[in-house]
Each structure stands twice: as C-alpha cells, then as structure tokens.
Structure 1
Amino acid sequence: MEQVTERTGSLNWSSGKLFRRRLSRYWREQWRVWRTVLDWTVCLYIVLPALWIGGGMYVELWNEPASWMNQIPLWTIRLPALLIINLGILRTFAEEADVLFLLQKPDWRKGLILRGISYTAVGRGLIIAVLYALMLPFLIIIHKLSWMSVAEMIIVTWLWAIIGSLCRNLLDGRYRGWRRMVWKAAASALLSASYVIPIFLFAPQGIHMVWQPAVGLLLIVGLIPQKLRARDTFESDVQQEHRARLASTELLLSQVIERKPRIKMNKPIILRSSKRLFQSFDPATMLAENTIKTFLRRLSLIRIWLSFFGISTMAMLLSPLWVKVLLLILLPLLVSRWVQSLCDNFVHEPFIEQFQWADLVRKQMAEKVRFWLVIPVAVVLGLAAGLQMFGVWGIAAGAAAGLYWWKANEIMSDILMLKSRKKGTV
C-alpha cells in the first residue's frame, strides 16, 4: 500500500511543486545559517536598539530635514539604484541533478525558469522599494516630487534591474574568460547609460517619460524567450545557485576563516597554443623559444617590459641631442640586463635545470632571447630620436639602432660567458 501511495504521489509532481519545494528548502537553509548568530541576546541588545534609533532618525527627517540635504542634487539617487541594477543575479533554482531529468522535460524547465524570473522580479522589487522608502524624505520634502513621480522612478528602476539580471545570466552562459568580462562590462555600461541618460535629457526633475518603462517592458518581453530557448546557460545557472546558497555562510565566516588563494587554470592571452616560434631544433633555439614563450604568457613581465618601453621613449623625446645618443646606447643595455636575469631564472627552474645545459647552449639561448626581446626597444628608441631630429629621414636611425643592438648583443654574450668561466659555473 505504501509503495502504491508513493508511486501515485510521485505522479503528482509538477514544475510548480518542484519550485516551491526548492524555494522552501532554500529559505530553511538560510534561516538555519542566520539562527546561529541571531539569538535572543543579539536581537535584544543590537537589532532592536538599531531599529528604534534608525526609526527615530527616519521620522525626524520627515519632520525636520537636515540642512545638508538641500545641498545634495537629485541625480545622486541614481547611484544606489545603479548598484541594484548592475549587481543582481537571475535565480533559476537549478541543481546539478537536473541534467538527468529536467533537461529532458522542456515544459518543466521552462516552468522553473519562469518562476525563477518571477522570484527575481519580486526580490528586486522589494529591495528597490526599501531603497526608495528610505529616501522618500529626500525626494518628497527636499525636492518636492509628487508621489506619482516617485512611483515612476521605482517602476523604471525595477524594470531595468530585471533587464540587467536577464542580460548577465545570458552572457554568463554564452561566454567564458575575458570575453565574458568584456561583454558584461559593455552590457553594464549600456544598461547604465539607457537608465540615466533619458532622465537627464528628458526628465531633469525626476519625472520619467512614458516611453521609458514601455521600452523596458519590451526588452523584458524579448529577453525572456531568449532565456527559455538558451541551452548553454545550465552550468552557469547551477554555479550561480550554488553561490547564492552559500552567500550567507561566506558573509558570516568571512572574518573567521582564512581564505586560501584560488589557483586559476586559465589560458594565456598570447600564444594560447604551443606553436613553434623558430624553425631550428637545436638545443639553444628550443631553450630560447620556451624562454620567450614563458615571458609572453606572463602578464606581469609584459607589464614591466611595456613600462620600461614607455618611460624610455618619453625620456628619449624629452632629452637634448647629446643625451639622446647616450640614451640610445645605454637604455637597450639596461633592458638586456633585465632580460638576462629572466634567462638565468628560467634555466635554474627545477625541471629545466635537470638537463645540465652546457655553457655554449646557455650563451646562445640568452643571446637569442636578448636579441628578440630588446630589439623592439632599440628600434623604437632610434625611430623616436631620428624622427624628432631629422623628420622622415630619421627612419634610418631605427635601422641603425637595430644594427647597433645586433653587434652589442654579441659582445655582451662574450662578456657574460667570460664572467661565467671565471666563476667556474657550469
């Protein structure tokens, strides 16, 4: 009998019942987390006094507004509203196990997503209502706005918050890595501009035009079907739900547990695939190639190289003629000394060092690396000095600087090799 009841009961499941069960479980989990810190002593000595004092200050703002409030312009109300618009997430209540059955039931999946959108809209609406309720004295008493104008501001902010949640959810599922960051930044800028600019252009006194909420509704109507049809957002939905469930726990334990650094395994921006840079397969060339790849794949080293590049070029442009010649000789040598230290560090890496590289191989490797990493600096410095002094004919100075560095690099290799032999290093 129990088995029959259990089987018949399982047939009564629907997307609405699944959503209600997950929603109730979520709030039970949050209540258990907050109950560990919100005992009766905290409520008695912290929460209740804070509500009493805050309520008294709020009533006082209605009766006797502070004089400093008159100095605050109306547009400042947009700043906290923009935070709500650009920081909210779309709650879908997706779970890892849904890949086994929920994705096979399109009606259930769509029903869960629609209820998640409704839940997100209600949550965003409550937060926005609290925000504007706190700023009502500023809007009504100080700037003399009507209640209808305040209601219009709340509606527009609420619509744009929903649009932001939908856009970020779709972008999180569609893009990865730096592309996701770029697209989300662009969407955030466009969303903020479409929210603020119409207010300054058409409604400077805080009164919104009728077309702005209409446009917001049309955007929402267009974004919801895209979310329902999207097949690439499931993993990001699960990750966002996991972070949402643990948000309260992380907040309460943020000052208790020491946070360990997270190891990221992202592909580099430059040389994402291991392709050859040189055609030769001799040991020195192979070692030089891996050294250059290591340099190009580390953003911190590229940042230092570009900083020295910019400072050297600026110094060259601001110096007189005789100083330009001196800088053109010395600055490439300074850069090459830094590159030489990079070569030494790479050769002494535990994995690389075990091959016991010969002195000649290390000399040829360092010479190749110094040549290719320093010659752009030498040529650009020569071009900067030559074009500034001789115009178009100064292009020849760039070629001369390249030839100079070619010979100086060879001489530097012989000097470093001689020093290495005197020290008795292998």
Structure 2
Amino acid sequence: MMGEEKLAMNNPIEGRHGYDTPAPRRLLRRRLGHHWKEQWGIIRTAADWTVFLYILIPGGLLGGRYYYGFWNEPLPTWSTLLPYALLPALLALLMQGGILLLMHEGDLLFLRQRKEWMRTVMLGGILYSLSVTALKITAGFLILLPFLVRGYGLSGAGAGALLALSLCCGTCVKLLTHNVRVQKQGWRRWLWMLLAAWLPCGLYIRAAAVWSVHPALLLLAAAVYAAVAAAALRARLALRGTFLGDVREDFKQRMKIAGLLLRGVIDKPRPTRHKPWTFRKSRPLLRPGTPESRLAGASIKAFIRNPGHFKLYLQFTGVGAIAILIVPGMLKWAVCIVLVLLMASWLVSYWKVFSSEEFIALLPFGKDQKADAGSRAVPILILPFSVLCSAAASVPLYGWWGLAVFIPAGAVIGIMAARVFTALRLAR
C-alpha cells in the first residue's frame, strides 16, 4: 500500500481523484486538461500578462503588416536569391520533436492491466501531438506561402498538394522517430534516427523541389507518406514492453518548455550510463604504472568523458583553426602560439580543479606527486590542439612542405607551453 500511495502522489491528477474514472475518454480529457494547465503554469513563471500584452500584441500587429506587404507589395530582394528547396527545408524543421502519450508512472500499477484504457489514452495523446504538429506545419506554410506563390510561381493546386505532402510527411516522421526513441538507446538510436527522420525529410525536400509543377506527383508522394504513417501508428499501438521508455519520453515532452526557459540557468543533467563511451576497460592509460602516471591517466579519461569539457575543447579548436586561417602571413604563427598558451592555461586550471576533488583528496598523493602527474597530463591533452593549430598555420604558408613541418612544430609549441604553465602554476 505504501508503494501505491507513493506512486499516486507522483501523479497529481490520480493522486487527488484516484483511478476511479468511469470511462477512459474522461481520463483522457482529464490528463489533457492537466497537461495544458501544467504548461500554462510553466509559462506563467517566466512571463505574466503584461509581458504578453506589451510583446505579443505589438509583435502580432507588426507581423501582420509585414505579411500584408508580402502579398501586396514587391517582395524583398533577398527572397529572390534563396533556392526553392530552402523553403521545404524550413518546413521539415517543424516536423521534428516527440509525441506526448499522456502516460504516468502510476499507470504501471493502476492502469496497465486495463489494456483498452491504456490504448485509448495513448491513442488520444498521439492524435493530440500530431494535431499540434499539423498546426505548426500549417502556420509555417502560411507564412512561406507568399514567397512560394509570388516568388516562385507556385500554383494554387501545387500549394495545396505541397501542404498535403508536408502534413503527411510530418505525421510520418513524428511516428517513426517516436518508435525509435522508445525502443533504442545509445548509438543505435542515432543510427536508426537517420532512417526514421533524416531520410524521410530528405526525400520530402527532394520531392517538393523536383515536382513543384506536378501537383499529382506531390499528392502521390503524400499518399505514400500517409501509408507509412498508418503502418507506424499501428506498430506503435502494438508495441509491448516499452512502458518505461514511454514514461521517459513523455516526461521529456512535458518538460520541454521548462527546459527552454531554464536553458543557460542550470546545467543539463548528464544521463546515467553503465559504461562510458570511451576507455570502456579500466586499464592504465600511461606507462610505467607509477602512481603519478595512474593519476595523470585518470585525469585524461575524466576530461574526455566529460561532455562539457570535451565540447569546449572541440569548439575552441575549431574557432582557433579558423582564426589562424583568416589572419595573413606570418601572423598565423603568432596567433597559433597565443592560442596554444591560452589552451595550456585552461588545461592547467582544469587539472587544479580535478586534483582538488574530494575523491582525489582521499588518495595519499602529496603536492609533488600531484604536480608531476599534472606535468604529464597537460602536455598530452594539449598536443591535438597544438598540432591542429600548427597545421592551420604551416600548410597555407608552406604548401606541401607544411605537411612535414606541422606535426613537429605543433608538438614543440604545445609541450613548451604546457611546461611553462605547469611549472608556474602547479605547487610543489
């Protein structure tokens, strides 16, 4: 009983009213109403009615004026320079996203035995999500319609066929990607997502661009997408053993608006993994197997496994390489050296944070040992960056000779910068 009460408390609706709803459709309406109330409450935490009054109303009036001008005045010059395929590509972006099934954690005990109720709630959530997607696609299509008709000469029949194709493709993509999300995990999910999302969207963009003057072919393609969507819906309703995946995806969809509002305010929680992506076997990374080498290897593994650190490393590498390529002449080497020094400073700061962690403090390492381990880890971490920066400087300057120069030059610059900063900033 305690477990049932706890699960009921996790479901605000059923926690108050119980699972005594006389009909599944009434439960569906109750959960939809709670979802709307929940989303509106999340929005109200970031904006009150005065924000909507002073932003949405003037924005709507200004947008309406521009839209009227697109239909009755000359189109902007930039619109004539855009390729036609870009407009269907913009509609394809609106087809992405998940599906809300209106499943709650407590259904595992209280509702899962009633298959017809589960099917009704799940089907209602799917139809609701597809309806929202259809409204988004239709709104985007209406915004782009002046450019399609006046800029590219699309006929009325062609516009209607393109809208039908967009709606059918959006429904198909939504259902296929949802089926992948609730069944696959890890790299298999991303591989299947290529087939479920990117392939249908790519074919849609291609068909919309090639058959823009053939409405019948667009309608035929829409019929194909509708048939695939019907098969995907039938497969979704027939799935078994995906309850936990359904609840997980439902929670993501319910918290999507909250995630957008909190982006940049709090860090995104890292997913729990039983095995890391890299260095899956706990073997020493550096030899010989001295305590300093083991500590240095552990810091390198921790750096690469941390998404935030590794992403920032890659971003700084890309920006640094572009900066070196842009500057003229021998300034490339000056910028390269400055960037390597900045990277060395950041890596030493990372090492100091790593070595001061609580689990490192439990190990019997002295200051000298920590400094020696940092002096081994920082040069290894900086080498890829310094070598790539050296390549961006030497290849444009020396051509084929630069291919023979950039590796030793980058290694020397990186190691020297690492030694300077580790000697100055690591206490012994």
Indicate whether the TM-score tops 0.5.
Answer: yes
SS at 1:23 equivalent: helix
Post-superposition Cα deviations, 1:79-120, rounded to whole Å, max 9, x if no partner, equal 663343224x33322222222254445555445444444444
Bigger CA radius of gyration: 1
1:22 aligns with 2:28: yes
Structure 1 partner of 2:210 = 201
Structure 2 partner of 1:289 = 297
Question: Could you tell me how far apart the structure 2 residues matched to 1:308 and 1:34 are?
Answer: 42
Q: Percent identity?
A: 18
Question: Could you tell me how far apart the structure 2 residues matched to 1:282 and 1:242 are?
Answer: 47
Post-superposition Cα deviations, 1:156-201, rounded to whole Å, max 9, x if no partner, equal 2221121122022112212346664665466443232222211211
**Displacement of 1:271:** 2.7
1:224 corresponds to which letter in structure 2? L
2:164 corresponds to which letter in structure 1? I
* Inter-CA distance 299–146: structure 2 relative to 1 (3 Å threshold): closer
1:172/1:233 contact within 8 Å kept:
no
Work out which of the residue numbers 263, 270, 274 in structure 2 matches 1:264.
270
Question: Could you tell me how far apart the structure 2 residues matched to 1:401 and 1:191 are?
Answer: 44
Report 1:24-423 matches (<5 A): 24-27=30-33, 30=36, 65-69=71-75, 78=88, 81-87=91-97, 89-126=98-135, 128=137, 148-176=157-185, 180=189, 183-184=192-193, 187-204=196-213, 208-231=217-240, 233-242=242-251, 250=258, 260-267=266-273, 269-272=277-280, 274-278=282-286, 282-299=290-307, 301-302=309-310, 311=321, 342-353=350-361, 355=363, 357-358=365-366, 361-362=369-370, 364-370=372-378, 372-373=380-381, 388-389=400-401, 416=423
Q: Tell me how many residue pairs correspond in the alignment.
A: 378
1:120/1:162 contact within 8 Å kept:
no
TM-score with structure 1 setting the length: 0.62
1:234 corresponds to which letter in structure 2? F
1:168/1:184 contact within 8 Å kept:
yes
* Inter-CA distance 207–85: structure 2 relative to 1 (3 Å threshold): farther
SS at 1:276 equivalent: coil
- Gaps in structure 2 of 5+ consecutive residues: 1-17
**Displacement of 1:126:** 5.0
* Inter-CA distance 297–20: structure 2 relative to 1 (3 Å threshold): same
2:99/2:253 contact within 8 Å kept:
no
Question: Could you tell me how far apart the structure 2 residues matched to 1:375 and 1:128 are?
Answer: 47
